């Protein structure tokens, strides 16, 4: 009976190895369930502003875009609904150091390959043609 128990335990542990191998790696890179990788130097950017029109008497909506800055990669943007003609600006000390125009499909991560040279506080500024704006700071 003990042999069967240990045999089943061994099979269970062996079948769990691929799960843990996809979740963690020894180099400090964390793999999430979607297979994308982030490093320990990932910074979530908290965005504030208004990007879609809403009735005057409603509660403020959450920002429809999530943003994460990853060192040596750029800024990952993920929209909860499709957004087109989004202007992306990154500022440092009030000066625009990066500008691009992107379309953000719903629930698909888009990489903005911005290179932030030097340490300091940077500002991510997103706008659209409907006078929407979102802004957030991140520190490098």
CATH number of the domain residue 53 falls in: 2.60.40.3080
Integer Cα distance of 134 and 91 in angstroms: 13
Torsion of CA 86, 76, 34, 106, to 10 degrees: -10
In a domain, 101, yes or no: yes
Integer Cα distance of 114 and 103 in angstroms: 16
pLDDT digits (tens, 9 = 90+) for 19-75: 333 322 222 333 333 444 444 578 888 887 766 554 454 444 556 889 999 988 999
In a domain, 21, yes or no: no
In a domain, 127, yes or no: yes
In a domain, 27, yes or no: no
Res 30: pLDDT: 33
In a domain, 34, yes or no: no
The predicted model scores a pTM of 0.63
What is the number of residues in the chain? 140
60 alpha carbon, distance to own chain's centre: 22
What residues are paired with 125 via a beta bridge?
Answer: 89, 135
pLDDT digits (tens, 9 = 90+) for 85-126: 999 999 999 999 999 999 999 999 999 998 888 889 999 999
In a domain, 10, yes or no: no
Residue span of the structural domain in which 62 resides = 42-139
In a domain, 113, yes or no: yes
In a domain, 120, yes or no: yes
Q: Number of folded domains in the chain?
A: 1
């Amino acid at each position: 009976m003990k042999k069967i128990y240990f045999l089943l335990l061994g099979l269970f542990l062996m079948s769990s190895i691929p799960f843990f191998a996809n979740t963690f790696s020894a180099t400090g890179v964390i793999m999430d369930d979607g297979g994308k990788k982030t490093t320990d130097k990932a910074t979530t950017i908290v965005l504030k502003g208004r990007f879609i029109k809403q009735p005057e008497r409603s509660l403020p909506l959450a920002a429809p875009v999530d943003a994460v800055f990853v060192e040596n990669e750029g800024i990952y943007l993920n929209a909860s609904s499709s957004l087109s003609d989004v202007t992306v600006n990154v500022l440092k000390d009030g000066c625009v150091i990066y500008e691009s125009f992107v379309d953000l499909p719903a629930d698909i991560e888009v990489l903005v390959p911005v290179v932030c040279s030097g340490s300091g506080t940077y500002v991510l500024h997103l706008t659209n043609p409907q006078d929407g704006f979102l802004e957030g700071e991140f520190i490098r």
